[in-house]
A and B are shown apart, each in its own frame.
Chain A
Amino acid sequence: MTAPAVPADGGPGAVARPAGRKPSVLRQVLARPDGMAGFVILVVFTVLALVPTLLVGPLQTAVTATGPRLAPPSIGYPLGTDELGRSILNLTVHATRVSMVIGFLATIVTVLIGAVLGIMSGFVGGRFDAVTMRIADFFLVIPTFVLAIILTAIIRDVVGTGSTEILGIRLSLITIVIVIGITSWSSTARIIRSQTLSLKERAFVDRARVIGAGGGHIMRRHVLPNVTNLIVANAVLVFAGAILTETTLAFVGLGDPFQPSWGQILDAARQVGAPSLGAWWYFVPAGVCIVLVVFAFTLLGNALDAVLNPKLQARR
């Protein structure tokens, strides 16, 4: 039994549709339960990331710590304390800012590299495309985590650490941003490239009709808007991956104790032996934050995908 054909979303005509005819993408996403849930969770975390000091005071250090050591949650310390007497609540909230900002910056770098290379590969084709995709496939196959470890170590040793900050993040952690970008661009590039390829097909048909319109004009009006949708959807998933990667890198010792991220807290917890000591309050809060944020991004990514690619959803 054939279902009535779903009119294809997309095609050059879709781009030219005047704004306001369809509810905005954001509204559609929020209409879905998974989109709404993801969005709400992320808003909460964004707020925490923007004004941590407002909520829990300045980041406690070994010097300013006043609490008992490794104490379980109590009235004064709702999430307990670490081995230096610092409030875990304080640490975790400040770590939100670090993790989210690093994730954000890393996403920008990754998507920038991936999108630029992807569009160029798809558009230019030929040798450039072949070489770039070989390299991309290489990065997809190898265990980039080990590479990331080595790169971070090398860069840090060569550049040296200090207390210079870019955008409120210490240099040592900026290193992580760059390394994540270098190792994660491949899947973005592949996705953007195949979208560019299919759009290129359609754009040339247009070009045959619209004599006189330059390729650049068509690229801008037809290719770019459709690719933007995909980039945004992809960026959401990249963000989730970036947070996971940063967390894992921090966990193996590449975090910065002066600017703890969630992963760094987990590393500290492990080194103190928190699991074996039963000090669950040390690592559970940061862990829950990580799971929630990644989960939220996944939900949001799902919703975005469903909204932007409706024809993939229609089955017989």
Chain B
Amino acid sequence: MGSRYLLRRVATACFTIVMIVVLNFVLFRAMPGSPERILLGRMPGVTAEVLAQTRARWGLDKPLFPDQFVAYLNSTAQGDLGFSYAARGRPVTEVLAQHLGPTLLLFGLGEILAIVLGLTLGSYSGWKRGSPVDYVGNAISLILYSMPYFLLGMALLLIFSTGAGWFPTFGMLTAGATYDNPLDVALDLGGHLALPLATVALGLIGQYAILMRSSVVETLSEDYVTTARAMGFRDDRVLRRHALPNAMLPTVTLVAINLGYVVAGAITVEVVFNWPGLGTLTVDALASRDYPVLQGVFLLLSVAVVFANLGADLLYGVLDPRVRT
């Protein structure tokens, strides 16, 4: 792959991260309350000495720029994001780490599921354009697309949990449960995961299916697909080796562009199901105005999205030789 393409993408990503950090700093200084209070929160045992130390480390008695900014950069690079108000002075990094796992699980699995199912459904729809399956699939996708994720979650919760009783109503694992073996853990986890996962996946599937379908329809009318058919290849070869590799390209781009938006959805879905991830953390932190945590979440999610975008860009470069020059 052209190293110029790679370099350009990495450079852009780095620049974006820098901008994120700058923005974070601006937010940090814009927050109400004195910076010391923000940094130390309600940590027990704050003496005048600790205050002075903090002030020195963060350069709070020095001018805003460049000293405070540099100090801020330093601390962030070292992983010090301050302390949470609500969590009684626990470091923000620790709080984030604790909530990261469940979100990765829910969101990661959801994306994978959505990509696999969405692309498959979309391709099938596009291949069998005009059939009843196509119309029904399209209609459902459009409706799902218009629905905020959490609404879908609430509906699923109502129907399948409260109504049918198939799934538990909230949380990641049953509170206070003991397990005999890993399989039991997995089953309990799975039961709790099912509905939120379905919500995230369904929301995304609609979008991916619609895009994939129109992409496939457009690809199928290209001359090179007609040529492939003219070569006497079977339909599955034409689809798999000629149409899909081209039709998939816009979808890769969409998945990447979408990531910022999906974060919003994931947050709200977690809230509906009380899933103990970054989403619930964000909303709780918002309610208690726990600014250090909010700021930490923003930093973490933004940087994560940038990296994910970079990954998608690189993947695109592998799939489409035209951008490599």
Query: Which A residue sits closest to B299, measured CB to CB?
Result: A146
- Find out whether the CB atom of A142 lies under 8 angstroms from the CB atom of B271: no
Query: Which B residue sits closest to A138, measured CB to CB?
Result: B19
Contacts of B170 in A (CB 8 A): 276
Stretch at the interface among B40-48, B157-165, B245-253: B157-165
Residues from 162 to 198 in A contacting B, C-beta threshold 8 Å? none
User: What sequence of 0s and 1s flags, for each residue 240-284 of chain B, a beta carbon within 8 Å of any chain A beta carbon?
Assistant: 000000000000000001011101100110011000000000110
User: What sequence of 0s and 1s flags, for each residue 133-150 of chain A, a beta carbon within 8 Å of any chain B beta carbon?
Assistant: 010011011111111011
Chain A interface residue number, banded: 35 or more
Indicate whether A153 sits within 8 Å of B148 (C-beta atoms), given known contacts A138-B16, A276-B169.
no
- Find out whether the CB atom of A150 lies under 8 angstroms from the CB atom of B27: yes
Contacts of B257 in A (CB 8 A): 140
Q: Is A89 located at the chain interface by the 8 A CB criterion?
A: no
Nearest-Cβ distance from residue B149 to partner chain A, whole angstroms: 9
Contacts of A266 in B (CB 8 A): 150-151, 154
Query: Which B residue sits closest to A243, measured CB to CB?
Result: B148
- Find out whether the CB atom of A283 lies under 8 angstroms from the CB atom of B16: no
Q: Is B146 located at the chain interface by the 8 A CB criterion?
A: yes
Q: Is A316 located at the chain interface by the 8 A CB criterion?
A: yes
Q: Is A268 located at the chain interface by the 8 A CB criterion?
A: no
Q: Is B31 located at the chain interface by the 8 A CB criterion?
A: yes
Query: Which B residue sits closest to A149, measured CB to CB?
Result: B286
User: What sequence of 0s and 1s flags, for each residue 241-256 of chain A, a beta carbon within 8 Å of any chain B beta carbon?
Assistant: 0001001100111100
| Cα A73 to Cα B263 with chains together (Å) | 35
- Find out whether the CB atom of B268 lies under 8 angstroms from the CB atom of A146: no
| Cα A225 to Cα B162 with chains together (Å) | 55
Contacts of A274 in B (CB 8 A): 154
| Cα A251 to Cα B282 with chains together (Å) | 13
Q: Is A291 located at the chain interface by the 8 A CB criterion?
A: yes
Query: Which A residue sits closest to B27, measured CB to CB?
Result: A150
Q: Is B301 located at the chain interface by the 8 A CB criterion?
A: yes
| Cα A255 to Cα B27 with chains together (Å) | 22
Contacts of B19 in A (CB 8 A): 138
- Among B148, B161, B259, B297, point to the contact of A146 (Cβ < 8 A): B297
User: What sequence of 0s and 1s flags, for each residue 281-294 of chain B, a beta carbon within 8 Å of any chain A beta carbon?
Assistant: 01100110101001
Nearest-Cβ distance from residue B31 to partner chain A, whole angstroms: 6
- Among B145, B294, B305, point to the contact of A141 (Cβ < 8 A): B305
Q: Is B30 located at the chain interface by the 8 A CB criterion?
A: yes
| Cα A314 to Cα B161 with chains together (Å) | 48
| Cα A144 to Cα B145 with chains together (Å) | 19
- Find out whether the CB atom of B157 lies under 8 angstroms from the CB atom of A276: yes
User: What sequence of 0s and 1s flags, for each residue 290-303 of chain A, a beta carbon within 8 Å of any chain B beta carbon?
Assistant: 11001100100000
- Find out whether the CB atom of B143 lies under 8 angstroms from the CB atom of A146: no
Nearest-Cβ distance from residue B20 to partner chain A, whole angstroms: 6
Indicate whether A248 sits within 8 Å of B150 (C-beta atoms), given known contacts A143-B260, A154-B27.
yes
Task: Return 16 A-B CB contacts under 8 Å, by A number.
Answer: A137-B16, A141-B309, A143-B264, A145-B260, A150-B298, A154-B30, A157-B32, A251-B150, A252-B282, A253-B287, A266-B151, A275-B158, A275-B162, A276-B169, A287-B155, A291-B147
With A145-B267, A146-B294 given, can you name 12 additional A-B contacts, CB distance below 8 Å?
A142-B20, A145-B260, A146-B297, A146-B301, A149-B286, A251-B271, A266-B151, A275-B272, A276-B169, A290-B148, A291-B143, A291-B147
- List 9 tightest A-B contacts by C-beta distance, closest first: A145-B264, A143-B263, A294-B146, A275-B157, A295-B146, A143-B260, A142-B302, A287-B151, A275-B158
